[in-house]
Structures are given as structure tokens and as C-alpha cells.
Amino acid sequence: MSSILIIYTGGTIGMVKDEKTGALKSFDFDSLLKEIPEIKKFAHHINIESFDTPIDSSNMQPEKWLQIAQTIYNNYDQHDGFVILHGSDTMAYTASALSFMLENLSKPVILTGSQLPIGELRTDAKENLLTAIEIATTEINGTAAVPEVAIYFEYDLYRGNRATKSNAEDFEAFTSPNYPVLAQAGVSLRFNHNDIYKPNNKDLQLNQFLDRNIATIKLYPGITEQFIFSVINTPGLRAIIIETFGSGNASTEIWFINLLLEAIKKDIIILNISQCEGGTVNQGKYETSSALNSIGVVSGKDMTFEAAITKLMYLLGTGLSSEEIKQWLQKPLRGEMTLD
């Protein structure tokens, strides 16, 4: 009989309406069976761990990522899969971070949540949770069907570090612009086996150190020299993500290129991510990105912003040199980017 650990962090999925006030409040997730009695139909052992104080996902921090990752690591040998209940707003950040923190993962870690609270009549919480549990327990020829960190939401399963929240109103809250879905839930679960990450046979390793000394600059027409100057002179800064136009294009103004070059000379890593959800950074395709190539800006290819910032946090925490980090930024570590 499979054993699953559900980790409740907070978010809309764990809300119920107070009958007296009508306000939404978190409930004790030990009472899960009262809200979703269908869970009893699973032929699995289901254990539940909750944050002492459930949080809105807008308050998610790297310390909480470590708490989740540590819980998985500590319970890894006792469980066949893990389901994390999480607010949708920062779910893609958490999924991306966990993919880098849990090295050599060979069991499912499925994040899910909902757009409506679990106590609402039209809630999407029940289907999301029940299917996430089913995915986390599915085996094919004795091995986990999805041995990676993934997000399940509204009938689709996404690679965690390829997903992004793109809609605040619809039940279909997530998209995966540059990678196929891993599975689809209809009458049956349909797994896209060729697109699912293939684990190695090494022991799980927990990467605990994340360096958050990163800045982001989203380019826009009219951005000022003073602003860029203030960012690159932030004390302790180790890396900057520049969100560029189209396929990685940016201003060719002399002051802009010189400021980026000044940052690079200070050993600050600059990573180029497109503002577009779909497509990839192709530095050098146009004149407006050739200058970035020439001064040593690193192409983030088709990574999501969430994957880019958490990958940087992870690599900066490894103790590698800047040159080594630049090399690893351009290689897929957990399937987060597509090679040329």
C-alpha cells in the first residue's frame, strides 16, 4: 500500500467560511476528511503535516522553501510521494525552488491549490487535491509515473520549473509556455512519458543554501540611467536579472551598455530573461542584443522568471565561482530550460 505525505502550507485551498461572520479562515487540516470524505476511497496511507501557522503564499520566503524541502527530505524513505497544498500566487516560485533544492529526486512532489476555498460549493479544490494524490501514487512498472516536482491545476500537470501563473480569475490559472504538459486528467490520467524527467539512481540530496542577493530590472522605454546606476550599486549584490524585450533585446544606448559592463566588472552576474512568456532569448539575433553578448551577459534561453531567479539563488549558494555559475546557468539542471 502506497504512503503519501500531504504538506499544508496555507493558501485558498485551506480556507473555510466562518458561519457567523462569513469571513474566510484557515482550518485545521487534520479535519481534511470532513471536507473531502472521498479521500477515504484511496487505498493508500495518507499522512498530513501542516505549517504551525499557515501563510498566504504572498508571504512565501526561502526559509519556508527550506522548511518544505526539509520535511520531504526527512520523510523521504517513509513515503512514496508528496502533495504540497500551496497558494497559487507564488506556487511556481516554490515549485522551481524545490526542483533545485531536491537533487536526485526520484519520487513525485506535486504542488496544488485552488482558486476557490475548499468549503465553497463550486470549489476547484477537491478535484485538484484528489487528482494530485492520484498522480503522486501512480506507478508504472514499479516506478513513480512522475518522479519530479510538478504543479497540478485544473486537469493539467506541469513541470514545476516550467510553469507560471497567468490568470487570477479562471480555474485554469497556470500555463507552461515553453514545455508540454506532463499529464492530462480526463476520464483517465494520460501521461506524456517522453516529456517526464528521467531520474538517476543517486541518493536524494538536500541543497539548503539559497543566496537572495539578486536584483531584477524590467526594461521599459524611458528607464533612467539613475535607476540602473542605483541597482548595480546595491551593497552585497551578486546577480541581476534583466527582463528584456522579445528575443532578448535591449537598448543600445552607450550609458546603458556601460552600466551593465561596470556591473560585470564588479563580478555581478547578469542574466537575460525575456518579458515574453513564450519563446526564447537569442542574444545576437538582432543588433539590439549583440552588445549584450559582447560584454558577457548570460542568456537565460527559455526559462521562466520563476525558474531563473530560484536557479540563481541555488547556484549562488553553492560556493561556485562566478564563471562556473555562468556556465551552469546555460545548462539545464532539472529540465528548466531547452538547449539550442
Is there a shared CATH topology between the 3-206 domain and the 214-329 domain?
A: yes
- Closest to 5 measured CA to CA, from 98, 90, 73: 73
- pLDDT digit string, tens, across residues 22-62: 776 666 666 666 777 788 778 789 998 989 888 888 999 99
Instruction: Specify the range with the lowest mean pLDDT, choosing from 73-77, 199-203, 325-329.
Output: 199-203
Closest alpha carbon to 39 in 4, 74, 69, 66: 4
pLDDT score, position 28: 63
Average pLDDT rounded to a whole number, residues 161-174: 91
pLDDT given at position 122: 83
Q: Are 233 and 263 in contact (CB under 8 A)?
A: no
Higher-pLDDT residue of 284 and 261 is: 261
Q: In the prediction, which pLDDT does 208 show?
A: 96
pLDDT at 256 over 80: yes
DSSP characters for 170-234? SS--EE-TTS--SEEESSSEEE-GGGS----SSPPEE-------EEEEE--TT--HHHHHHHHT-
Q: Is 143 tagged catalytic?
A: no
| pLDDT at residue number 31 | 62
Say which DSSP state 245 is in. B
**Euclidean distance between CA atoms 188 and 171, whole angstroms:** 20
The C-alpha cell that represents 2 in the structure block? 502506497
* Closest C-alpha to 114, from 165, 181, 50, 51: 165
Catalytic residue among 12, 112, 137, 175: 12
Give residue limits of the domains in the chain. 3-206, 214-329
Quick check: 17 pLDDT over 90?
no
pLDDT number for residue 10: 87
Q: How many residues does the chain have?
A: 340
Q: Model confidence over 233-246: pLDDT tens digits?
A: 999 999 999 999 99
Q: Are strands 149-153 and 109-112 parallel, antiparallel or unpaired?
A: parallel
CATH topology for 3-206 is Rossmann fold (3.40.50)
User: Is the confidence at residue 272, as pLDDT, over 90?
Assistant: yes
- Residue 295 is predicted with a pLDDT of 95
| CA–CA dist 268, 108 (Å, integer) | 35
Q: Output the pTM of the full model.
A: 0.94
- By percentage, how much of the chain surpasses pLDDT 70? 96
Is residue 80 within 8 Å of 4, Cβ to Cβ? Answer: yes
Q: Top-level CATH class of 214-329?
A: alpha beta
pLDDT higher at 153 or 27: 153
pLDDT at 54: 85
Mean pLDDT, the chain, integer: 92
DSSP letter, residue 164? E
For residues 272-295, give the mean pLDDT: 90
pLDDT higher at 147 or 21: 147
User: Can you tell me the mean pLDDT for 70-89?
Assistant: 96
Q: Could you tell me which residues come within 8 angstroms of residue 181 by beta carbon, excluding any fewer than 6 positions away?
A: 156, 157, 158, 192, 195
Contact 160, 150 (CB under 8 A): yes
